[in-house]
Copies of this chain bind each other. A is one copy, B any other.
Amino acid sequence: MSKHGIILFGHGARDARWAEPFERLAARLRAARSEPVSLAFLELMTPDLPGAVAEQAASGCDAVTVVPVFFGQGGHVRRDLPQIIDACRAAHPALTIHCATAVGEDDAVLDAIAAYCMRQLDA
């Protein structure tokens, strides 16, 4: 049976509290599905993406979807991420690795952020 992991890929930050929404996001996804859900970071936090991919491969995943938890498709998503994904594919040739568009490009995510902004006017 196939096993399909999700990796939430974020920038990383010096302050550990920065990662709290990522942990809450992972918890939501773990509640919604039984297959692996991991976090990975570009810098300043661990694990990095190659580490998270290796762990999901070792746990028996044959497919992994990487979701960039970034607002925009800037240099980190357009330039750094494809290079890291290529290295992961080379390291795990039996693993299918999908890479999504940054979450902030999604209309429904932008709608939710806009609604949040409107609520702040009455706060």
**Which residues of B sit under 8 angstroms from A28, Cβ to Cβ?**
110-111, 114
Chain B CB within 8 A of A93 CB:
no
| A 56-91 binary contact with B (CB < 8 Å = 1; else 0) | 000000000101010111111010000000000000
B20 to A67, Cβ gap below 8 A?
A: no
**Alpha-carbon distance between A96 and B69 when the two chains are bound, in angstroms:** 32
Chain B residue with Cβ nearest A15: B74
Give, as a whole number of angstroms, the nearest-CB distance from A18 to chain B. Answer: 3
User: Residue A109 contacts which of B13, B74, B112 (CB distance < 8 angstroms)?
Assistant: B112
User: Residue A13 contacts which of B72, B98, B105, B114 (CB distance < 8 angstroms)?
Assistant: B72
Q: Which of A7-26 contact B (CB under 8 A)?
A: 8, 10, 13-15, 17-22, 24-25
